[in-house]
Amino acid sequence: MTLRVLCVFLLSGWLSVSAAALPIPENGPALRIQGSNTIGAELGPALVEGLLQEQGLLKIHRETPDTANEQRIVGQTAQGQRVVIEVAAHGSSTGFTALKNASADLAASSREIKDSELLALQALGDLKSPAAEQVIAIDGLAIILNPANPLEQLNTEQLARIFAGEVKTWEELGGRGGAIHLYARDDQSGTYDTFKELVLSRREKSLSSAAKRFESSEQLSDAVSADPQGIGFIGLPYVRQAKAVAIADGASQAMLPLNSLIATEDYPLSRRLFFYLPPDTRNPWAQALATFAQSPQGQAIVAASGFVSQTVRAMSVAPNALMPEGYQSLSRHAQRLTVNFRFAEGSASLDNKARQDLARVLDYIKRNGKTERAVTLVGFGDLKDDPARADLLSKLRAMAVRRELVKNGVVMREVRGFGALMPVATNSADEGRIKNRRVEVWVY
């Protein structure tokens, strides 16, 4: 939807600055954002500033009220009218609560909306619809240590036992330093929710009561950096002076939180960052901010803020002996795009992010002249009792993506399925199986 069209949906009490501009409220903020500290500390305000600049506003600046983790981003029209957008960053769950009590127009979340929240907010429309659930960036949860700690990698099983307090010393992990000191985000945090879901709950464990808790990502990271016995989990931009270790999940290779592995969501602790817009909202600024966040300009701000953008790029993959021969051959002659298509749970349908990514992949293919037999799709799946069934399902997923690309004029070079080979997550949990069901895009 263009900004010009958005202006049709003016609320009573709103004034249109010009035909192409968003309406300015006579009183109060133009937009109220609540939720994730991971988003709200820097990325959200930076995206808001970009939108205000796109709107032609002047004297854009940030104001900090007395309440911690809250900001106002302020601009001014050519006529001198003040435009205010409020950002409160107290944790993902607070964003959904604010939508329910009408104290926010848009929720920022560093995790997917829970079924209980979806139910509680159903009066606002379907928040799982493609228009409502907007993936704005990819983040990786980094496991951080003091830089002097010699440990280089851990697996998710070890992480669960460490943060549950079952592994108490570094010596038990083959390291040194004595007692392990735990650092964690607070209960309102989407970062904590993600860690709990990906690591603790999957193994029926709970966070140790001995963990020191933080609302601020920066403060947690700095605390670990200053503690030779410390370990914590944090969003990727907040590693700061700490040391990130490589993580393995199930039979996957150990992976560092590198941008390319997070962009494809192969890294075991990668996660999506969301904007949730109630479908029945009548605030045009909310939709405009989500649209801006998905644009090339918005994704450039995502990258500049330290997160991983969804901008599609080609990357070389070095073949190794753990890859099947057909995959090694592919990696010698083609490049992989920095996107994986994934599917809605229990479905052969592309999920909401994949629908957004289709447009990005098509744009890349057309801009780079690869519409004629230069694209290969590679499907993967989770483990099945019958390997032939796993092979078939992996190819069918690739065929589902092929159909969408062919509709838009792309002539494919090849479609392949590698079954349950090369898992990126454990197959012993639903979340891991969903992650393993993926389609890669390779270009020649």
Chain segment 269-292, per-residue pLDDT in tens? 998 999 999 998 779 999 999 999
pTM: 0.82
Mean pLDDT of 211-217: 95
Q: Widest CA span of the chain, in angstroms?
A: 69
Instruction: Indicate if the pLDDT at residue 13 is higher than 80.
Output: no
pLDDT (0 to 100) of residue 7: 36
For residues 124-144, give the mean pLDDT.
95
Report angle CA 134, 29, 117 to the nearest 5 degrees.
Answer: 40
Output the pLDDT for position 343: 83
User: Of 1.10.357.10, 2.60.40.10, 3.40.190.10, 3.30.70.260, which CATH number belongs to 139-261?
Assistant: 3.40.190.10
4 band by pLDDT with thresholds 50, 70 and 90: very low
Residue 3 has a pLDDT of: 35
Q: Of the ranges 27-31, 193-197, 320-324, 428-432, which is most confident?
A: 27-31
pLDDT the model gives residue 347? 64
What per-residue string of b and e applies to 316-353 under the rule 16 or more CB within 10 Å gives b? ebeeeeebeeebeebbeebbbbbbbbbbeeeeeebbbb
The mean predicted confidence, pLDDT, of the chain is: 91
Please list, residue by residue across 287-302, b when 16 or more beta carbons sit within 10 angstroms of its beta carbon and e when fewer do: bbbbbbbbeeebbebb
Flag whether pLDDT at 22 surpasses 50. yes
Cα–Cα distance measured from residue 375 to residue 274, given in angstroms and rounded to the nearest whole number: 29
Is residue 162 scored above 60 in pLDDT?
Answer: yes
Q: Check residues 106 and 427 and name the one with the higher pLDDT.
A: 106
Domain limits, the chain: 3-132+277-304, 139-261, 312-443
Query: Of residues 234 and 348, which shows the higher confidence score?
Result: 234
Q: Which two tokens stand for residue 372?
A: 């004629």
CATH topology agreement for domains 139-261 and 312-443: no
Q: What is the mean pLDDT of residues 223-245?
A: 95
How confident is the model over 113-135, as a mean pLDDT?
96
Q: Could you give the CA distance from residue 117 to residue 129 in angstroms, rounded to a whole number? A: 14
Answer CATH for 312-443 from 3.40.50.720, 2.40.70.10, 3.20.20.80, 3.30.1330.60? 3.30.1330.60
Contact 117, 107 (CB under 8 A): no
Question: What pLDDT digit, counting tens, does each position of 293-339 carry?
Answer: 999 999 999 999 989 999 999 999 999 888 999 999 999 999 999 99
How much of the chain, in percent, has pLDDT values that exceed 70?
A: 95
List the beta strands (DSSP E) in 343-424.
375-380, 414-417
pLDDT at 45 over 50: yes
Residue 174 has pLDDT above 70, yes or no: yes
pLDDT, tens digit, 9 for 90 and up, residues 175-213: 888 999 999 999 888 889 889 988 998 899 999 999 999
Rounded CA-CA distance 236/256 in Å is: 11
Q: Which CATH architecture has domain 3-132+277-304?
A: 3-Layer(aba) Sandwich (3.40)
Residues in the chain: 444
